[in-house]
Amino acid sequence: MSDPTPRLPVTLLTGFLGSGKTTLLNRLLKHPAMGETAVIVNEFGEVGIDNVLIEQVDGNTVLLDSGCLCCTVKSDLTQTMWDLAVKRDHKDVPPFQRLVIETTGLADPAPIIHLLMTEPLLATRFRLDSVVTTVDAVNGWNTLDKQIEAVKQAAMADRIVLTKTDLAKPQAVTMLRQRLNRLNPGAPILLAAGGEIDPDVLLRAQLYDPLTKTADVQNWLNAEAFEPHDHDHHHDHGHDHHHHEQSADDVNRHDDHIRAFCLTYDAPFEWETVATWLDLLAAYRGADLLRVKGILNVKGLDKPVAVHGVQHLFHPPATLPAWPDADRRSRIVFITRDVGRELIEETLNSIQAAQPAA
């Protein structure tokens, strides 16, 4: 029997101060495709809605002429989201089909992702769909140099929107794109001069929706994006892993402390092995696991299992309807702070070595 109240997808919109996040949001709010969307922002004053406001639903929620809802966070995001869900049930507001949450420019996205993944009340009504981060093409390089929040926002994104490209020099745009690609190889980089972009590109990623056929894994599980071309990443767990020594200009180490890499395994896993491995990593190095995203070939299952974690917390694993392509290898993307791939691989090897032979 299908769920009578399907969980609504949530897009988290982040970006450092001055990165064009508000301009992008303003454009999105006026787009016809946003008519079935609810938007939570920090302050109404940050979003130019005065000329499109048509109805005051209550003291916290307004209805825009595009049909989308906009409301403010008072002090509790959980309460704000739950209130919106209840109003939707009671038909006090239009029946929105997705939610966008805009964070402040200095926000670390991890706490909100934690909330969306673990709050039992919200889990019955909402699911994390994607994290979208805006980066300023004019000032983004300097911002990444000076602000760790900006680095984490970009590293944890599923979509990176490069703004103000019409104001930046082409060479600066190219260099910034290269840096962002190194920082987060699995995230597509989209251009939005003046905030113009198709909402469907941002809001319908369906990254962790078990009902989708591909779960968008081609982008964030492309192992080639995470590896130098001379690195052998096609290996089978249970065998020795031979890696080149990392050099001083290691392409998988970026912005001093952030690393991104993808581990691939040919043979299917026992689920208990994976669960123990991820639990151990979360317990001992969870604060430094910025994002963990993977698709696994699990023994006894003919469909892939998607896993997704942020720092100490992991979303319940989801069995996907089908593999996205002919590749049946397990692939797990790690974006970490001061945690190298060797430690993560050694942890898995230790667990496997301690297990009795089949």
Give the side-chain half-sphere CA count within 13 A for 73. 15
Model confidence at 248: pLDDT above 60: no
pLDDT at 246 > cutoff 90:
no
| pLDDT at position 30 | 78
pLDDT in tens, 155-191: 888 889 999 898 899 999 999 999 998 888 878 899 8
Residue 294's contacts (CB-CB under 8 Å, 6 or more residues apart) are 221, 306, 307, 308, 330, 331, 332, 333
Instruction: Name the one residue in this structure whose structure tokens are 């070595």.
Output: 353
Q: Which residue has the higher pLDDT, 237 or 25?
A: 25
Return the minimum-mean-pLDDT range out of 38-47, 192-201, 241-250, 324-333: 241-250
pLDDT, residue 216, reads 64
Q: Give the tens place of pLDDT for each residue, 290-299.
A: 888 889 999 9
Which CATH superfamily, name and number, covers 8-203?
Answer: P-loop containing nucleotide triphosphate hydrolases (3.40.50.300)
CATH 3.40.50.300 intervals, the chain:
8-203
Distance, CA of 294 to CA of 309 (rounded, Å) = 9
Those residues whose C-beta lies under 8 Å from the C-beta of residue 209, and which sit 6 or more positions away, are: 9, 127, 129, 215, 318
pLDDT at 231 over 60: no
pLDDT, tens digit, for every residue of 263-318? 999 999 999 999 999 999 999 998 888 888 889 999 999 999 988 888 887 878 88
CATH code at 217-354: 3.30.1220.10
Asked whether the predicted pLDDT for residue 56 surpasses 70, the reply is no
Among 84-98, 250-264, 291-305, the least confident range: 250-264
Question: Is the pLDDT confidence value at 229 over 50?
Answer: no
Q: What is the mean pLDDT of the chain?
A: 79
pTM, entire model: 0.74
pLDDT bin (cut points 50, 70, 90) of residue 244 is very low
HEC sequence for the chain? CCCCCCCEEEEEEEECCCCCHHHHHHHHHCCHHHCCEEEEECCHHHCCCCCCEEEECCCCEEEECCCCEEEECCCCHHHHHHHHHHHHHCCCCCCCCEEEEECCCCCCCHHHHHHHHHCHHHHCCEEEEEEEEEEECCCHHHHHHHCHHHHHHHHCCCEEEEECCCCCCHHHHHHHHHHHHHHCCCCCEEEEHHHCCCHHHHHCCCCCCCCCCCCCHHHHCCHHHHCCCCCCCCECCCCCCCCCCCCCCCCCEECCCEEEEEEEECCCECHHHHHHHHHHHHHHHHHHEEEEEEEECECCCCCCEEEEEECCEECCCEECCCCCCCCCCEEEEEEEECCCHHHHHHHHHHHHHHCCCC
Domain(s) labelled CATH 3.30.1220.10 in the chain stretch across 217-354
340 pLDDT higher than 80: yes
Of 11 and 32, the one with more pLDDT: 11
Residue 235 is predicted with a pLDDT of 45
Task: Please tell me the predicted confidence (pLDDT) of residue 276.
Answer: 95
